[in-house]
Amino acid sequence: MFLTIKRGAIAALAVAAVVAGLAACSPADTIAQSTPKAKSADSSANGPATMTDVTLQIDGAAVPYYAPLYSAIDQGYFAKHNLNVTLAYAAGSDILQNVAAGNVQFGFPNGDSVITAAGNGVPVTVVHTTYQQGIGALMFNKDTSGIKTVADLKGKKIAVTDLGSPNYIQLQAMLASAKLSLSDVTVSTIGSGAIVQALQSGQVDAIVFSRLRYYALQAAGFPVGQILSDKYLPSFGNILVTSPNYLKTNPAVVTGFTEALNEGINYVTDNTASAVSSAITKYAPTFVGQDAVITKVVTDVYVADLWHSADTKKYGVGYGDLSRWQASIDEQAKYKLIPASFKAKTLVVEPGAK
């Protein structure tokens, strides 16, 4: 299936839906799971003075890759910071609607969608850059596609999920690095439920999609190769957001939440296999039996690249590199997903920066 929809129109429609729905959505629309009430707090820990209920709305559905959040609950890190956390799951646009409207206190959407919303006037603030880079990748059949470098994409048929997706921008940035353009390839739009199968069946030569699918394809015996898109376009996976008003009026709650999340990340880093097993058993039972594969993904991708970086070694996990954020913002403006660029410091808090 081929589409010729203008990117600017897609972005405008998406943001219009966000703005129009601000007052209409409520966290009750997507509540999936509530955490047990905390028993007591550590008086030495940062956080609100009294036990405080907050809701975190998470992108998508319960998956074991959200293990730091689940561990922060199970290991008592949120409780230590005087927080009772309720989890909800929703689409990224719904998360931004609810955070901006004050229906939920925190959201955990994809960073690219946050830039698009903020660039079009939706009031959100990034308080924790949880994923230090994006999770997009170009994937291909390394045995038959003839693709080894980006330059080899010339003349190939490449699928993305839609022309308003971050993956479409990533493809263009990759092509530009090899002095190619969209006119040098054939772009096909295939939904997220079928795009991987299109690669496996040979319907397309390559796809730009989540790098997590690389491991599933490997496990299925498919000869998959990949080129990570973050090298060509700095971006971010899931990050923690709140509204500017909530950050201003409840700074202790935000600090307590981010510190508990940091502790959750560090716990999973140090106890990956057991944390993954617990996440599957308690929160994501549809992944039962996949503990080994998921543990490998968490170790090779999340621990190695996403949660930790040179910046986090210096400033602590969750640090937001404003130069990388600025590059991502500028690219969205270049490709007309937002009307104009804006300063990253108006969107992102840099925890730990001096």
The values of phi and psi at residue 219, to 5°, are -65, -30
- 285-328 pLDDT, tens digit per residue, is 999 999 999 999 999 999 999 999 999 999 999 999 999 999 99
**Integer Cα distance of 67 and 264 in angstroms:** 8
Number of neighbours of residue 46 by Cβ within 10 angstroms: 18
Indicate if 31 and 113 belong to the same structural domain. yes
What does the pLDDT read at residue 166? 84
Indicate if 293 and 215 belong to the same structural domain. no
Distances in Å between the alpha carbon of 88 and those of 31, 38, 62, 103, 244? 4, 18, 9, 12, 21
**Integer Cα distance of 257 and 39 in angstroms:** 17
Radius of gyration of the chain (CA): 20
Indicate if 295 and 328 belong to the same structural domain. yes
What spatial distance separates the first Cα and last Cα of the chain, rounded to whole Å?
50
- Both tokens of residue 116? 């698009």
DSSP state of 163: T
What does the pLDDT read at residue 45? 74
Q: Is 344 helix (H, G, I), strand (E, B) or coil?
A: helix
Residue 3 has pLDDT above 50, yes or no: no
140: amino acid identity, one letter: F
Q: Is residue 298 part of a domain?
A: yes
Ramachandran sector of residue 348 (left: φ over 0; alpha: ψ -120 to 50; beta: rest)? beta
**What CATH number corresponds to the domain at position 154?**
3.40.190.10
The tally of domains found in the chain comes to 2
What does the pLDDT read at residue 30? 46
Contacts of 7 (CB under 8 A, 6+ apart): 163, 164, 168, 335, 336, 337
Indicate if 289 and 322 belong to the same structural domain. yes
Contacts of 337 (CB under 8 A, 6+ apart): 7, 8, 11, 115, 116, 119, 164, 169
- Side-chain-side CA neighbours of residue 107 (13 Å): 35
User: Can you say how many angstroms the Cα of residue 339 is from the centroid of all Cα atoms in its chain?
Assistant: 22
Indicate if 147 and 14 belong to the same structural domain. no
Indicate if 176 and 202 belong to the same structural domain. yes
**Shortest CA distance to 168 belongs to which of 151, 183, 182, 184?**
182
Q: Is 141 helix (H, G, I), strand (E, B) or coil?
A: strand
Number of neighbours of residue 61 by Cβ within 10 angstroms: 11
Residue 11 has pLDDT above 90, yes or no: no
**Integer Cα distance of 177 and 93 in angstroms:** 31
Q: Is residue 91 part of a domain?
A: yes
Q: Is residue 1 part of a domain?
A: no
Find the range with the poorest average confidence among 2-6, 34-38, 208-212: 2-6
Indicate if 241 and 260 belong to the same structural domain. yes
Indicate if 273 and 258 belong to the same structural domain. yes
- 328-352 pLDDT, tens digit per residue, is 999 999 988 899 999 999 999 976 5
Distances in Å between the alpha carbon of 24 and those of 28, 127, 146, 248? 11, 25, 50, 24
Indicate if 142 and 285 belong to the same structural domain. no
> How many separate helices (H) and strands (E) can be counted in the chain?
14, 11
Indicate if 254 and 325 belong to the same structural domain. yes
The mean pLDDT value for 226-254 works out to 95
In terms of residue numbers, what domain contains 163? Answer: 136-231
What does the pLDDT read at residue 42? 54
Domain boundary among 231, 251, 279: 231
Beta bridge partners of 206: 140, 158
Contact 266, 317 (CB under 8 A): yes
The per-residue pLDDT of the chain, averaged, comes to 88
- 170-193 pLDDT, tens digit per residue, is 999 999 999 999 999 999 999 989
Indicate if 122 and 267 belong to the same structural domain. yes
Domain boundary among 212, 231, 250: 231
Indicate if 128 and 54 belong to the same structural domain. yes
**Integer Cα distance of 151 and 166 in angstroms:** 21
Contact 118, 347 (CB under 8 A): yes
Question: What is the residue whose two structure tokens read 């739009």?
Answer: 189
The mean pLDDT value for 246-262 works out to 97
